[in-house]
Amino acid sequence: MIRYALSCPLDHSFEGWFASSADYDDQSNRGMLSCPLCGSNGVAKQIMAPAVAGTKAQSSPGGPKVREMMMEVRRHVEETFEDVGDGFASEARAIHEGRAEDRGIYGQATGAEVKRLVEDGVPVAPMPPAVKPREELN
């Protein structure tokens, strides 16, 4: 697997994992890559320093802590916000425009729907991915 630092024309930075460099090139050439924040398809690789393995086994600083924090944020959202499913974009817009009760919601939206919400000033953020606790990995 290869991890690339990516960004969109709106300078949103994120990362993507690919089976190979050729896999990234193929997906990019076919227009399959989009920004998870705004839905833009103008995704490009950023300059990255290569990961060089040392002689001692090393873990990324804060890795387990970051995973734990992401799990806690997701758990909080799922326990306290309303799941509106695939109606997220229309419900978020209705709340923003005052046509629906102001409350925390989460759900699914397409990249194009998210892009339109961001362009119209509707505050949205990606949900942290469901991450298994480290002891459940492999």
Q: Read off the pLDDT of residues 83-113 as tens digits, 9 standing for 90 and up.
A: 999 999 999 999 999 999 999 999 999 888 9
The verdict on 21 and 83 lying in the same domain is: no
The verdict on 67 and 116 lying in the same domain is: yes
Global confidence as pTM: 0.52
- Let me know if residue 57 belongs to a domain: no
Q: Which range is most confident: 21-25, 28-32, 82-86?
A: 82-86
- Let me know if residue 22 belongs to a domain: yes
Give the integer Cα–Cα distance in Å for 118 and 112. 10
Question: 69 versus 83: which is more confidently predicted?
Answer: 83
- Let me know if residue 55 belongs to a domain: no
Q: How confident is the model at residue 135 (pLDDT cuts 50, 70, 90)?
A: low
The verdict on 19 and 83 lying in the same domain is: no
Query: What is the residue-averaged pLDDT of the chain?
Result: 83
- The domain total for the chain is 2
Q: Which structural domain, as residue segments, surrounds residue 16?
A: 2-45
The verdict on 71 and 122 lying in the same domain is: yes
Q: Using CA of residue 55, residue 61, residue 65, residue 69, what is the dihedral sign?
A: negative
The verdict on 127 and 98 lying in the same domain is: yes
Nearest to 93 by CA among 62, 59, 125, 116: 116
- Let me know if residue 110 belongs to a domain: yes
| Per-residue confidence (pLDDT) for residue 121, from 0 to 100 | 92
Question: Is 15 a residue whose pLDDT tops 90?
Answer: no
* CB-CB neighbours of 71 under 10 Å: 16
